Chain A
Amino acid sequence: MAVQALDRPGTDAEERAFQARLDAEIKIEPRDWMPEGYRKTLVRQISQHAHSEVVGMLPEGNWLTRAPSLRRKAQLLAKIQDEAGHGLYLYAAAETLGVSRAEMLDALHEGRAKYAHIFNYPSLTWADIGVIGWLVDGAAIVNQIMLCRCSYGPYARAMERICREESFHQRQGFEILAGLCRGTAEQKRMAQDALDRWWWPVLMMFGPHDADSPNSAQSTAWKIKRRSNDDLRRQFVDMTVPQADWLGLRVPDPELRWSEARGGYEFGPIDFDEMRRVIAGGGPCNRERLGARVAAHEAGAWVREAALVHAEKKRRRGRARAA
């Protein structure tokens, strides 16, 4: 429900009661009192997450008409429909914090809001669709499983539903790659090329190193975030490298090696300058993605307007009949 708590600074007692509820693992619900910073952090994070789901449809949509079989096309279409749904669950969750859908969309379309930097890379071959499902969705799932335990009820509930639905996305991607890796030498090369291009940007999805992530401490205290960026990233690498081995693909990191001491993989340095460049608008597809989003929104304006006018006309006729 889009209902808003009173917009005023909290008393000390309210602040203490709020933190006590978090510490007791009691969820915060839309009309409960919350600190303004908590609300703002959630609005930013949930709306960015929603934008990412929506913009994330674009690299996949690129291959919808060229999927190599009807089965693959139906799967990809179902996955893209899910992404649209996930965007809607998340926009609805953000709206419970008192921000309107139109405000969020305007912020995206005017370039004031961010979305995941990963969607500013191109999907050049069919193997990219495999890697996007396997790694991009795989990385998102690791993060989203953590967010199922987020202290804000509507966000946690949206995450649970999204996690349930997304597990097929990852398998769908892996299945595409398994097919290519069992195929011709050219198909295998295509799979390797896609992994080479996506591996590092995917590792960036978990965000900067903990030492360079100044907002993490507050988000952790508020129980929005439960695990650190580096912790989640290590888990993802530990899960994924054996899957790459199974496929017979080489992870493009000369420093990658198993560490007995850590019980996990060590990996090379991540170029976070690249991530910052892409977020700031300098990725290969930023302009194209935002352009496609704005064009779709503008092309749909007459439909939204007509539907409202039609609904209003039906209401008037209903009243006239009743009179």
Chain B
Amino acid sequence: MDRDWPLWEVFVRPRQGLSHRHVGSLHAPDAEMAVRNARDVYTRRREGESIWVARSADIVASDPADRESLFDPADSKIYRHPTFYTVPDGVEHL
């Protein structure tokens, strides 16, 4: 069996002014080839202005099992949203 080339995650900036966004992954022997391959695999229709690649093994992710403890506490803090507050009639620019 062949050794697989390392796996890279590919991020593309769709146009100037927007953040890079994860579009998928690919295998490549090194960073330079990863960028070249990403250009062919993910931007055949001018989907981007810029490409980032990062070794998949270097990405640290939160554990799905921690989803509740990490994210649920925000659910009860509805006062962080402007819609929590009542704006009295007649008050503007608030």
Q: Which residues of A contact B (CB under 8 A)?
A: 1-3, 29, 31-33, 78, 81-82, 85, 88-89, 92, 95, 100-103, 105-106, 157-158, 165, 301, 304, 307-308, 310-311, 314-315
With beta carbons under 8 angstroms apart, the residue of A31, A101, A165, A310 that contacts B61 is A31
Q: A3-B61, A81-B44 are in contact. Are A89 and B24 (CB under 8 A)?
A: yes
CB A147 to nearest CB in B, in angstroms, measures 16
- B50 contacts the other chain (CB 8 A): no
Residues of A close to B9: CB separation below 8 A? 1
CB B62 to nearest CB in A, in angstroms, measures 9
Q: Give the docked Cα–Cα distance between A144 and B81 (Å).
A: 39
CB A222 to nearest CB in B, in angstroms, measures 18
Residues of B close to A310: CB separation below 8 A? 29-30
- B45 contacts the other chain (CB 8 A): yes
CB B44 to nearest CB in A, in angstroms, measures 7
Instruction: Give 7 A-B pairs besides A2-B25, A81-B40, A89-B24 with Cβ atoms closer than 8 angstroms.
Output: A1-B56, A32-B64, A33-B64, A100-B4, A102-B1, A165-B45, A307-B5
Closest B residue to A309 by CB, please name it.
Answer: B29
With beta carbons under 8 angstroms apart, the residue of B5, B29, B30, B41 that contacts A85 is B41
Cβ–Cβ contact B64 & A102, under 8 A: no
- Quick one: which of B46-90 are within 8 Å of A by CB? 56, 59, 61, 63-65
Q: A81-B44, A88-B41, A92-B24 are in contact. Are A301 and B30 (CB under 8 A)?
A: no
Cβ–Cβ contact B4 & A101, under 8 A: yes
Residues of B close to A301: CB separation below 8 A? 2
CB A211 to nearest CB in B, in angstroms, measures 38
CB A307 to nearest CB in B, in angstroms, measures 4
Cβ–Cβ contact B64 & A31, under 8 A: yes
Q: A89-B24, A92-B26, A95-B7 are in contact. Are A82 and B61 (CB under 8 A)?
A: no
With beta carbons under 8 angstroms apart, the residue of A3, A88, A102, A307 that contacts B4 is A102
Secondary structure class of chain A's binding surface, majority of residues: helix
Tally of A-B Cβ pairs under 8 angstroms: 65
Q: Which residues of B contact A (CB under 8 A)?
A: 1-5, 7, 9, 24-27, 29-30, 33, 40-41, 44-45, 56, 59, 61, 63-65
Q: Give the docked Cα–Cα distance between A307 and B27 (Å).
A: 12
Q: A3-B61, A31-B61, A33-B64 are in contact. Are A85 and B44 (CB under 8 A)?
A: yes
Cβ–Cβ contact B25 & A92, under 8 A: yes
Cβ–Cβ contact B7 & A308, under 8 A: no
Q: A2-B7, A307-B5 are in contact. Are A31 and B29 (CB under 8 A)?
A: no
Ordered by A's residue number, 12 sampled pairs between the chains whose C-beta atoms are within 8 Å are A1-B25, A1-B56, A31-B64, A81-B40, A85-B40, A88-B41, A102-B4, A307-B5, A308-B29, A310-B30, A311-B30, A315-B30
CB A248 to nearest CB in B, in angstroms, measures 33
Closest A residue to B37 by CB, please name it.
Answer: A88
Q: Give the docked Cα–Cα distance between A1 and B24 (Å).
A: 8
Cβ–Cβ contact B44 & A82, under 8 A: yes
Cβ–Cβ contact B45 & A101, under 8 A: no
Closest A residue to B10 by CB, please name it.
Answer: A92
With beta carbons under 8 angstroms apart, the residue of B5, B26, B61, B63 that contacts A1 is B61
CB B16 to nearest CB in A, in angstroms, measures 22
Cβ–Cβ contact A102 & B30, under 8 A: no
Q: A82-B44, A301-B2, A308-B3 are in contact. Are A95 and B25 (CB under 8 A)?
A: yes
Residues of B close to A82: CB separation below 8 A? 44
CB B46 to nearest CB in A, in angstroms, measures 13
Q: Give the docked Cα–Cα distance between A46 and B37 (Å).
A: 22
Residues of A close to B56: CB separation below 8 A? 1-2
Q: Give the docked Cα–Cα distance between A58 and B40 (Å).
A: 20
Residues of A close to B65: CB separation below 8 A? 33
Q: A2-B7, A101-B27, A307-B29 are in contact. Are A31 and B63 (CB under 8 A)?
A: yes
